[in-house]
Amino acid sequence: MVCVLLISGCSIWPGQDDSANNKKVTLTLWYWNRSIDDKLIARAKEKFPNIELTAQKIGGDFKAKLKTTLAARSGEPDIVALNDWIMELFPSEDRFYNLYDLGAGDIEDQYLPWKWKQGVTPNGQMIGFPMDTGPTALFYREDLFKEAGLPSDPEDVTRQINSWDAYAAAGEKIKEKFGGKVFLTDNIATVYNQVLSQAAERYFRPDGSFIGMDSPTVRKSWDTAVAFKEKGLLANADGWTPGWNAAMNNGEVASFVGAVWMKQVLQEAAPDTSGKWRVARAPGGDGNNGGSFLSILKSSEHPQEAFELVRWLQSPENQLEQYQTLNLFPSAPGVFDDSAMTEKEPFFGGQATGPVFADSAQQVPDAFFGERYPSVHNIITRRLNDIAKQNANPQQVWTDTVHRVERELQR
C-alpha cells in the first residue's frame, strides 16, 4: 500500500511536473504473471521515453485485489489487465475511460470483431482493449483414436467428428475398445462449457433480461453434458487438479475440447504423452474460452499516454511476439498468416496447431455475456457436477437448478 502511494505520488502532486523533471508522465500497470511478456515491458520503456512506467505483477487473487482497490478508491493503477470476467465490471463502467474517446475506433478493424465487442459495454462504452484470446479446438490422442478404429488424421477428425453426436459415438467406440479404461473426455463441466461456448446466445439478452433456462442453447448444452455422463464417457478428472494431470499423463483421457492455452497446460501436465496429441476443429463448432483485456482507469491523470502505451503493447506485431514467447494467442487476425504461427510442434507429433486455432478464432460467434453470467454459469456447472459425481437424478437437479437460478436473479 505504502509502495503504491509512493509510486503514484508523482501524479497526485501535479506541482512536481514543473520541477525540472523534463515532464515525465508516470504510469502504473497491473498485470499477472505471463499475461504480458516482461521483455516487451522493458522495450516499452525505451519506446516511450516520456513515460515513467511502473509495471507491477500482481500475484494472488487478482480480481479480488482489483475490486478492493476500486472499492477503496485509492491506490488505483492507471492501466490494468482484466481477464474474461470483464463483464462483471460493466456496471461500474464509469470507473473506466471509454477507449473510443481515446482513439480506439481507428484500429478496430485490426482485431477480431467478436473479441472487440467483449470489451464494449451494452451502453457502447469500450472499457477493455483486446489482449489474447482463447479459441477452442479438439485435443485428442492420435494413437488411441487410431487403435479404436476412429479417424486419426486432424483433417479427417475435423471432417468426420463434426458434431457432438458424432463425438459421443466416437466415445462409445473408445469405451468398447479399451474396456472402460480410457475415457473420451475429462469432465462434465468441460462438455457443458464447450457446447455453450459455440452458441451466440447465452443466458442474457443485451438489454440485461434473462433468456430463461429453457433457451435452446442452455438446454442443448445441459442435455449433451448429461448424455456424456450417462454414456460413461467422462473420466471425472477436474481441471487444475493433480488428478487431471495424472489422468492425462497416464492416457486415461483420449480427448477434450479446450482453448488454445490448454496447449501449455497439457504439455506441463502430461510430459509422458509427448508426440501423441493432435489438434482438430472442435465438434459442433468453434468457440472461445478465456482471453484478456487492458483497461484504463478513470483515476488516471494521463489517459492519452496510457492509451498510446496500451495500443503499442497490444499491436498486432507485439501480440505475435507474445505468441512466440508466452503462447498468448493473438486477437489480431492480420498476423495469423505469419510463419511463426505455422511452426511444427513436437508435442503434437509435428503438427502445426496454429492454423487450426487461427481458423477457429475467425469463426467464434458474437456472444453477449452480461454481468451476471458468472454467477448463473457457476450455479449450473456446480449442479452438473452433482450429476457426474454423485449420480444425482438429472431431472431432479434440473428442476432444482432452474429454481436456484431464478432465486439468484431476484436478488
Partner 1 sequence: MWEHRALYVAISPFYILFAVFGLFPIGFSLYLAFHKWDGIGIMTYNGFNNFKYMLTDAEFWQAVGNTFMIWIYSTIPMLFFALIIAFLLHAPFVKFRTLFRVGYFLPNVTSIVAVAIIFGALFANNYGFLNYLLQSVGLPVVEWLNAPWGIKVAISSMVVWRWTGYNAVIYLAGLQSIPQTLYEAAKIDGASAIQSFFRITIPMLRPVILFTVITSTIGGMQLFTEPQVLVGNDGGAGAAGMTIVLYLYRESFINNYFGYGAAVGWGMFLIIALFSIVNWKLVQGKSS
CB of 239 closer than 8 Å to CB of 187: yes
Find the part of the chain contacting partner 1 (CB under 8 A) among 65-73, 125-133, 166-174, 196-204. Answer: 65-73
User: Measuring CA to CA, how many Å separate 385 from each of 59, 198, 245?
Assistant: 29, 21, 19
Q: How far is the CB of 393 from partner 1 (least distance, A)?
A: 13
Q: Nine-digit cell at 387?
A: 450429476
DSSP assignment of 2-17 = HHHHHHHHHHH-GGGG
Q: Does 2 bind partner 1 (CB under 8 A)?
A: no
CA distance 362 to 226: 29
3-state DSSP call for residue 62?
Answer: helix
What string marks each residue from 318 to 357 as x (binds partner 1 by CB under 8 A) or -?
A: ----------------------------------------
Instruction: Decide whether 70 or 270 has the Cβ nearer to partner 1.
Output: 70
Instruction: Decide whether 91 or 216 has the Cβ nearer to partner 1.
Output: 91
Instruction: Decide whether 80 or 309 has the Cβ nearer to partner 1.
Output: 80
What count of other Cβ atoms lies within 10 Å of the Cβ of residue 332? 20
Q: Which of 51, 70, 126, 384 binds partner 1 (CB under 8 A)?
A: 70
Instruction: Decide whether 158 or 385 has the Cβ nearer to partner 1.
Output: 385
CA distance 138 to 256: 6
Q: Which of 19, 64, 207, 395 binds partner 1 (CB under 8 A)?
A: 64
From 187, 223, 216, 213, select the one nearest 200 (Cα to Cα). 216
Find the part of the chain contacting partner 1 (CB under 8 A) among 89-97, 98-106, 129-137, 352-360. Answer: 89-97
3-state DSSP call for residue 75?
Answer: coil
Q: Which of 84, 88, 132, 286 binds partner 1 (CB under 8 A)?
A: 88
CB of 119 closer than 8 Å to CB of 127: yes
Q: Nine-digit cell at 9?
A: 505520488
Instruction: Decide whether 164 or 183 has the Cβ nearer to partner 1.
Output: 183
The single residue listed with the C-alpha cell 480410457 is 182
What count of other Cβ atoms lies within 10 Å of the Cβ of residue 66? 22
Instruction: Decide whether 96 or 145 has the Cβ nearer to partner 1.
Output: 96
* Helical pair 216-230 and 394-409, crossing angle rounded to 10 deg: 150
- The residues, any chain, with a CB within 8 Å of residue 51's CB and separated by 6 or more, are 24, 25, 26, 27, 44, 45, 305, 309
Instruction: Decide whether 217 or 236 has the Cβ nearer to partner 1.
Output: 236
CA distance 382 to 238: 12
Find the part of the chain contacting partner 1 (CB under 8 A) among 106-114, 241-249, 282-290, 362-370. Answer: 241-249
Find the part of the chain contacting partner 1 (CB under 8 A) among 1-9, 26-34, 83-91, 209-217. Answer: 83-91
Q: Which amino acid is at 144?
A: L
Q: How far is the CB of 332 from partner 1 (least distance, A)?
A: 31
Q: Does 390 bind partner 1 (CB under 8 A)?
A: yes
Q: Which of 71, 124, 214, 339 binds partner 1 (CB under 8 A)?
A: 71
Find the part of the chain contacting partner 1 (CB under 8 A) among 28-36, 60-68, 168-176, 322-330. Answer: 60-68
Q: Does 243 bind partner 1 (CB under 8 A)?
A: yes
Find the part of the chain contacting partner 1 (CB under 8 A) among 68-76, 119-127, 213-221, 320-328. Answer: 68-76
- Quick one: 14 exposed, middle or buried, by C-beta within 10 A (0-12, 13-18, 19+)? exposed
The single residue listed with the C-alpha cell 483515476 is 299
From 190, 171, 182, select the one nearest 230 (Cα to Cα). 171
Q: How far is the CB of 380 from partner 1 (least distance, A)?
A: 12
CB of 306 closer than 8 Å to CB of 300: yes
Q: How far is the CB of 121 from partner 1 (least distance, A)?
A: 14
Q: Does 125 bind partner 1 (CB under 8 A)?
A: no
Work out the end-to-end distance of the chain between its first and last CA atoms, rounded to an integer number of angstroms: 34
What count of other Cβ atoms lies within 10 Å of the Cβ of residue 357? 25
Q: Which of 51, 102, 237, 254 binds partner 1 (CB under 8 A)?
A: 237
Instruction: Decide whether 72 or 340 has the Cβ nearer to partner 1.
Output: 72
* Window 370 to 389, contacts with partner 1 (CB under 8 A): 375, 378, 382, 385-386, 389
Q: Does 76 bind partner 1 (CB under 8 A)?
A: no
Tell me how many residues contact partner 1 (CB under 8 A): 27
CA distance 123 to 24: 34
Which residues bind to partner 1, rule: CB under 8 A? 64, 67-68, 70-71, 88-89, 91-92, 95, 236-237, 241-243, 246-247, 375, 378, 382, 385-386, 389-390, 392, 407, 411
